[in-house]
Structure 1
Amino acid sequence: MSNGYLLEMRDIVKTFSGVRALDGISLAVRPGECVGLCGENGAGKSTLMKVLSGVYPYGTFDGEILCEGKPLQAHSVRDSEREGIVIIHQELMLVQQLSVAENVFLGNEITLPGGRMDYDAMYRETEALLARLKLTDVNVAAPVMHYGSGHQQLFEIAKALAKNAKLLILDEPTSSLSAKEIDVLLTIIEDLKRSGVACVYISHKLDEVARVCDTITVIRDGTHVGTRPAAEMSVDDIITMMVGRQINSLFPRTERAIGEVVLEARNVTCWDVTNPSRKRADNVSFSVRRGEILGIAGLVGAGRTELVSAIFGAYPGRSTLELEIDGKPVKIRTPAQAIANGVCLVPEDRKRHGIVPLLGVGDNITLATLAQYASGGHVDRNAELAVVDRSIRQLRIKTASPALSIAGLSGGNQQKAVLTKMVLAKPRVLILDEPTRGVDIGAKYDIYKMIFDLAATGVAIIMVSSELPEILGMSDRVLVIGEGQLRGDFANQGLSQEHILAAALNTQPLQRAA
């Protein structure tokens, strides 16, 4: 490391089907340094990190990678991990049926003489790693599937820490975490930096980038826009470099009338799938009006997703509730019944519940409304394609073709496609569960504008979000859920993050909107 760098990537070029996803990008990281890698969805950030981590092996790209001054020619992820380069992917890479400890040490098991796994040692080490992440209530012998996405993201981080990384690549690591969990993670990254571990931090949350990163590299459309010390860049500077244009207000609010109650939910109660004695949502009642944006806030695991899933007929466990739409009682037991009654949902986990990975972008977009283009058992492909093309243009979904597999799109573009699919069903009530998770600033603006435009046409919006600035910037009214119970119902007038957190932690009495 004569030049002081732990790792250097020089003039990396990566091509897919003749299209350059990376066009001569360079990146350098010193020991103990955190480099923020910023760019819009589809800019090439994840592709660059897959080159570095061996997901795309040596020989499938052009350019040079040096690790501690020596050429790195990784033919697999295991090769890069041997050099101390560990990646935490944006999408969870856990085996749901295996235990927490088995996942943390997967491929890196602690064994006894003779090759048998030393479960006692793995349990102890996993508990110690999770304690560093401030997780002390986890049964490390239980299957991962018993825990929510917030816990599972922390399990991924523990898995990386178990490999004693010299360079830790974090690709949107906080997308499933609460504010408290994010603070814990960023504190851990700061500790790792002090111990000499280098980090590449990919996030659309620019406040996180500003807190932990020493240097910021911005890429756009597969090209290197610039690298500068973080101390010399404002958030506006980063946004302008990322999107190539200024965004003056992230929340493009419009004046609109809020009308009569469209949906009223009473006594929504959901029992835990694995522990039937525990209630995930406990007797929650609320309503939402025509043209209103109702935000639902709360800590991860509070029961927000369970609440909206039950309303949509998608909760996998036992649930009871009473629903009225336009003052008339309705029974919704399946998502198909919900959509037929004008209630649509964009799910929290798009990978598992939002897309069909093997289908094309266009087929995913029209999946919920295919009957509209069918007659006599045949689908009018021209009419379907016209709707798809218009939708792709309106939300600026980056895809080479509507026929391209949706799995090949970036997370943000997948999210736009899922949102479009539900909007085409012409909902009266649109439920959005973490609608901008893993989405860049430019794409967030497009999604926010679409939400405000839908509300202006009279659609009632219910939006679950872990990002309090998003809740405050978008909502007309805010529900706060804590431990499955309704802790607050606030008009968004002078409301602050502190008010919401206090209600979520049950440190102030329930309030009702005027």
Structure 2
Amino acid sequence: MAEYLLEMRGIVKDFSGVKALNGIDLAVRAGECVGLCGENGAGKSTLMKVLSAVYPHGSWTGQILWNGQELKARGIRETEEAGIVIIHQELMLVPHLSVTENIFLGNEITGFAGTLDYAAMHQRAAELMRDLKMPEVNVALPVSQYGGGHQQLIEIAKALNKKARLLILDEPTSSLTKAETAILLDIILDLKKKGVACVMISHKLDEIAAVCDTISVIRDGTHVGTRPMGELSVDQIITMMVGREITNLFPREEHPIGEVIFEARNVTCFDIDNPARKKVDDVSFQLRRGEVLGVAGLVGAGRTELAMAIFGCYPGKSSATVLLDGKPVHIDSPQTAVKSGLCLVPEDRKRHGIVPLMGVGHNITLSVPEQFSRFGVIDQAAEMQTIEKMIRRMRIKTATPMLAIQGLSGGNQQKAVFAKMLLPAPRVLILDEPTRGVDVGAKYEIYKLMMELVKEGMSIIMISSELPELLGMSDRVLVIGEGRLRGDFINNGLSQETVMAAAIGQTET
């Protein structure tokens, strides 16, 4: 019997002559969890797409050994039949189908004359839910009835139903709460005990440290090293990933903070599904020139809705009075917000930040088409000059500015969205979860950029679920709880405990 369940040897994959993978090796034993680490664009997801035959045999060079035998899979069905199942960062569930139907999609149990045996499928689905510590899930209901945490675990149930021997988890906790993340990590530990192997891609290195036995790091498509987790600290993993030591993850610097330039008064948003309920309830705040204003709160507190209402894009009923330099500004759409000097980097870049099939460059200039228009004709040379300048400034890794932006890694897509929102030269920049799904190196670059912008006099509102990030970068922190403003703290020795106490509506003792 082979020592390794999986071996990938010398994997090379290129796109239009650009090597995304250049001789990568990876080995995984049964019951082992390997953490695959690297910056955005390092090649992690590409390597996993090679393994799961999203990129079929023949479109890359090298060798894959599965249980000691060479694997030459031509498609995902072949790798799944072998026992290799990938769970992508974007969940592959059909919202209007039931939990059972999603779990058995393409793998249905049939009875007499080929009819679907729903009783058997419901029973098996319920068993899987119990195994995953979710006995309360009604498997007959549509998956749209359940939140992101439940849906992530339903994806795992779907994989286990395919008798997965190797589970590939690509950023599995990126949209989960802390409690949901804890459940998922426990499940990974249970799967290891049952002999299921895992490859976990995550930028949350504390989670990698909690469940992984081995760490394999790749940088710019090359294999940096593989070491036991027990021999590494989180700081050492970061150094391997970025090729340099980052001693201070939050490069906050002293910068002048001026007069109040922006004010939001009486911001109120009504729940789209239940108009009698307020998602944001009469929130008012001020923002000063050159200030980083952090916005904290639990998931569902109303932070994103607050930002959307100010930016003129809340999809339901809302009201707000917005003042810039003490003068009221009428904002009823993102277009009027941008023209007024207010820009937003949205929480969900896939849905609200990019046009997936459009080129990287045209995504960047989408916010200011008038800058390149002369008598109705686009000055392509001027536009390309601006595109190349922003790609250099943001260090966006792309083979060409014309590459469809969906071909970029998540971190590089995020940098492109930043570039798009900086082109209008806003006076107030709203960042909603700006580093979600972004590696530590790219996070550091985003933080450095924030410091450059506030030194130039721009004001930033940063919404984040990561308290260390908020406390590491903000001058002042607003706390939102159940749609209401529960705290406004100067960040001078401010603790996570104080912020959390305000978020849950309790006075810290």
Report the Cα offset of residue 122 of structure 1: 5.5
Q: What secondary structure, in the 3-state scheme, does the structure 2 residue paired with 1:176 have?
A: coil
1:398 aligned partner: 397
| Distance of 2:137 and 2:275 partners within structure 1 | 18
Q: Which deviates the most, 306-315 or 156-165? A: 156-165
1:206 aligned partner: 205
RMSD of aligned alpha carbons: 2.5
| Distance of 2:283 and 2:476 partners within structure 1 | 16
Go from structure 1 to structure 2 and tell me whether the alpha carbon gap of 1:99 and 1:180 turns closer, same or farther (over 3 Å shift). Answer: same
Report the Cα offset of residue 248 of structure 1: 2.1
Contact 2:280 2:484 (8 Å CA) reproduced: yes
Q: Which deviates the most, 60-69 or 479-488? A: 479-488
AA aligned to 1:463 is M
Q: Which deviates the most, 5-14 or 179-188? A: 179-188
Contact 2:261 2:289 (8 Å CA) reproduced: yes
AA aligned to 1:215 is T
AA aligned to 2:413 is Q
Identity %: 67
Report the Cα offset of residue 124 of structure 1: 6.3
User: Number of residue pairs matched?
Assistant: 509
AA aligned to 2:253 is T
Once the two structures are superposed, the pairs formed by residues 49-448 of structure 1 within 5 Å of their partners are: 49-111=48-110, 113-117=112-116, 144=143, 152-448=151-447
| Distance of 1:145 and 1:319 partners within structure 2 | 25
Q: What secondary structure, in the 3-state scheme, does the structure 2 residue paired with 1:106 have?
A: coil
| Distance of 1:165 and 1:194 partners within structure 2 | 14
Contact 2:18 2:399 (8 Å CA) reproduced: no
2:31 aligned partner: 32
For structure 1, the residue ranges without an aligned partner over 5 or more in a row are none
Once the two structures are superposed, the pairs formed by residues 462-481 of structure 1 within 5 Å of their partners are: 462-481=461-480
Cα shift readout 1:149-203 (whole Å, capped 9, x = no counterpart):
5555454344434434221111111111222222222222122212221111111
Report the Cα offset of residue 321 of structure 1: 2.4
Q: What secondary structure, in the 3-state scheme, does the structure 1 residue paired with 2:368 have?
A: helix
| Distance of 1:448 and 1:354 partners within structure 2 | 19
For structure 2, the residue ranges without an aligned partner over 5 or more in a row are none
| Distance of 2:456 and 2:145 partners within structure 1 | 40
Go from structure 1 to structure 2 and tell me whether the alpha carbon gap of 1:367 and 1:51 turns closer, same or farther (over 3 Å shift). Answer: same
| Distance of 1:460 and 1:440 partners within structure 2 | 24
Go from structure 1 to structure 2 and tell me whether the alpha carbon gap of 1:142 and 1:447 turns closer, same or farther (over 3 Å shift). Answer: farther
Report the Cα offset of residue 147 of structure 1: 6.0
Cα shift readout 1:355-384 (whole Å, capped 9, x = no counterpart):
111111111111001111111111112221
Report the Cα offset of residue 286 of structure 1: 2.3
2:2 aligned partner: 2
Cα shift readout 1:276-303 (whole Å, capped 9, x = no counterpart):
3433223322222221111122222332
| Distance of 1:437 and 1:130 partners within structure 2 | 28
Cα shift readout 1:463-502 (whole Å, capped 9, x = no counterpart):
1112221111111122222333333322222222233333
After TM superposition, the score normalised by the length of structure 1 is 0.92
2:460 aligned partner: 461
After TM superposition, the score normalised by the length of structure 2 is 0.93
Contact 1:178 1:466 (8 Å CA) reproduced: no
| Distance of 2:336 and 2:428 partners within structure 1 | 13
Report the Cα offset of residue 408 of structure 1: 1.2
Contact 2:34 2:214 (8 Å CA) reproduced: yes
Q: Which deviates the most, 353-362 or 477-486? A: 477-486
Contact 1:146 1:274 (8 Å CA) reproduced: no
Go from structure 1 to structure 2 and tell me whether the alpha carbon gap of 1:302 and 1:257 turns closer, same or farther (over 3 Å shift). Answer: same
Report the Cα offset of residue 6 of structure 1: 1.5
| Distance of 1:225 and 1:483 partners within structure 2 | 46
| Distance of 1:111 and 1:256 partners within structure 2 | 67
Cα shift readout 1:11-39 (whole Å, capped 9, x = no counterpart):
21112222221111111111111101111
Q: Which deviates the most, 325-334 or 52-61? A: 325-334
